[in-house]
């Protein structure tokens, strides 16, 4: 050990220097935070418009940021802002589903069921981060996915999981976490603690559904039956399926590259031939695509020109080219 030296002479300037630095850093941090707080959009639960047919609903990240907005489905009419605040939104058959988050300690998240006038009907408190939302064509069955993660001080770094819920709005029956559904994989009943489901999409009969399941590092397309409460894995490497209005095809994202740079491409799978076809979108799409009609898909991409996210459309048959439909938007949902 060293000999102690009298350091009182050098201690004071050091304390002073650190205090000055602390003051500067605090000022920077506070200024930045105050500015961010001023720019914060307000949260609103009411809506200035209803769920009307022939409209394309989406979450706006520009005018009325964080709130649901809409555009006429055919043609490029004006956009109407002023819907409820949602992180993720979907609507069909006179029912809306709004996933929202309320920051706080601890933060809270909710799935809010909305009626045809976009008024709140039911609110379900959920842990986690809103991720995917779907309403069946009839508006009766709802599903959403929340993403939960362990904090690093728990030592569980990298451990994440999804919780997918299914709600029958007519009976009010809620399955909070569907991961206990009996799953058949490669012809056998599959048991594993790491089973995770996300991205459910419903058939018009309000019974059959498709979803993603991940287990042991792989993802699969599963077909499920609500009444029988059973699920079967059909195909590997399918995420976030979305069933076409005519019930014949599934749009999905397929992992085409390992790693984190541009991992996914949009594909459409024909359910009769089980043949898949890549779409004309060459960017990596990380979204559950929405069918605007039987020929067109809409999805969100990271925004251009400083926008957070944009909604693009692309023909569902692999032809044509992607088109920018909604600058500054996400969560597209066509109400037909």
Contacts of 183 (CB under 8 A, 6+ apart): 189, 190, 195, 213, 222, 231, 232, 233
Handedness of CA 21, 27, 30, 33 (dihedral sign): negative
By CB under 8 A, tell whether 160 contacts another protein: yes
By CB under 8 A, tell whether 106 contacts another protein: yes
Q: Going residue by residue from 180 to 219, which x/- string records binding to another protein, judged by CB under 8 A?
A: -----------xxxx-x-x---------------x-x--x
Q: Are 64 and 79 in contact (CB under 8 A)?
A: no
Near another protein in 216-235, by CB under 8 A:
216, 219
How far, in Å, CA of 240 to CA of 230, rounded?
A: 19
Return the residue of 12, 28, 123, 182 that touches another protein, per CB under 8 A: 28
Closest CA to 285 of 271, 308, 267: 267
Return the residue of 64, 84, 93, 130 that touches another protein, per CB under 8 A: 130
Closest CA to 136 of 206, 199, 200, 198: 206
By CB under 8 A, tell whether 129 contacts another protein: yes
Return the residue of 2, 76, 78, 189 that touches another protein, per CB under 8 A: 2
Question: Closer CB to another protein, residue 75 or residue 158?
Answer: 158
Q: Are 211 and 222 in contact (CB under 8 A)?
A: yes
Which span sits near another protein by CB under 8 A: 74-82, 90-98, 150-158, 230-238?
150-158
By CB under 8 A, tell whether 1 contacts another protein: yes
Q: Are 144 and 124 in contact (CB under 8 A)?
A: no
Question: Closer CB to another protein, residue 77 or residue 150?
Answer: 150
- Say how many residues touch another protein, by CB under 8 A: 85
CB of 186 vs another protein, minimal distance in Å:
14
**Tokens for 256?**
């085409």
Radius of gyration from C-alpha coordinates of the chain: 23
How far, in Å, CA of 332 to CA of 290, rounded?
A: 6
Chain position carrying tokens 């200035």: 48
CB of 93 vs another protein, minimal distance in Å:
25
Mode of pairing for the β-strands spanning 275-278 and 95-102: unpaired
Near another protein in 244-303, by CB under 8 A:
259-261, 263, 286-287, 300, 302-303
Near another protein in 43-102, by CB under 8 A:
43, 87, 101
Return the residue of 68, 91, 113, 126 that touches another protein, per CB under 8 A: 126
Return the residue of 62, 138, 149, 247 that touches another protein, per CB under 8 A: 149
How far, in Å, CA of 29 to CA of 23, rounded?
A: 10
By CB under 8 A, tell whether 9 contacts another protein: no
Taken as a whole, the chain contains a residue count of 336
């Amino acid at each position: 050990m060293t000999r102690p030296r009298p350091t009182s002479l050098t201690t004071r300037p050091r304390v002073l220097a650190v205090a000055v630095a602390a003051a500067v850093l605090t000022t920077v941090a506070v200024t930045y935070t105050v500015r961010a707080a001023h720019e914060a959009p307000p949260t609103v639960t009411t809506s200035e418009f209803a769920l009307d047919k022939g409209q394309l609903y989406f979450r706006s990240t520009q005018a009325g940021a964080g709130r649901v907005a809409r555009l006429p489905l055919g043609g490029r009419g004006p956009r109407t802002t002023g819907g409820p605040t949602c992180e993720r939104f979907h609507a069909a058959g006179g029912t809306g589903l709004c996933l929202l988050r309320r920051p706080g300690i601890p933060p809270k998240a909710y799935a809010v069921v909305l009626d045809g006038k976009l008024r709140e009907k039911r609110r379900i408190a959920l842990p986690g981060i809103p991720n995917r939302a779907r309403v069946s064509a009839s508006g009766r069955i709802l599903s959403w996915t929340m993403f939960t993660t362990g904090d690093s001080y728990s030592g569980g770094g990298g451990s994440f999981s999804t919780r997918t819920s299914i709600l029958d709005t007519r009976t009010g029956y809620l399955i909070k976490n569907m991961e206990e559904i009996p799953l058949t994989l490669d012809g056998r009943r599959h048991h594993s603690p790491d089973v995770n489901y996300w991205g459910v999409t419903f058939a018009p009969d309000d019974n059959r559904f498709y979803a993603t399941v991940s287990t042991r590092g792989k993802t699969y397309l599963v077909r499920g039956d609500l009444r029988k409460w059973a699920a079967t894995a059909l195909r590997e490497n399918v995420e976030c399926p979305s069933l076409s209005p005519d019930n014949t095809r599934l749009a999905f994202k397929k992992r085409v590259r390992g790693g984190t740079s541009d991992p996914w491409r949009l594909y459409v799978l024909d359910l009769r031939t089980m043949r898949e076809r890549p779409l004309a979108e060459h960017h990596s799409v990380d979204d559950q695509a929405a069918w605007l009609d039987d020929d067109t898909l809409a999805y969100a991409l990271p925004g251009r020109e400083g926008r957070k996210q944009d909604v693009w459309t692309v023909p569902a048959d692999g032809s044509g080219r992607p088109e920018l439909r909604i600058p500054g938007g996400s969560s597209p949902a066509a109400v037909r």
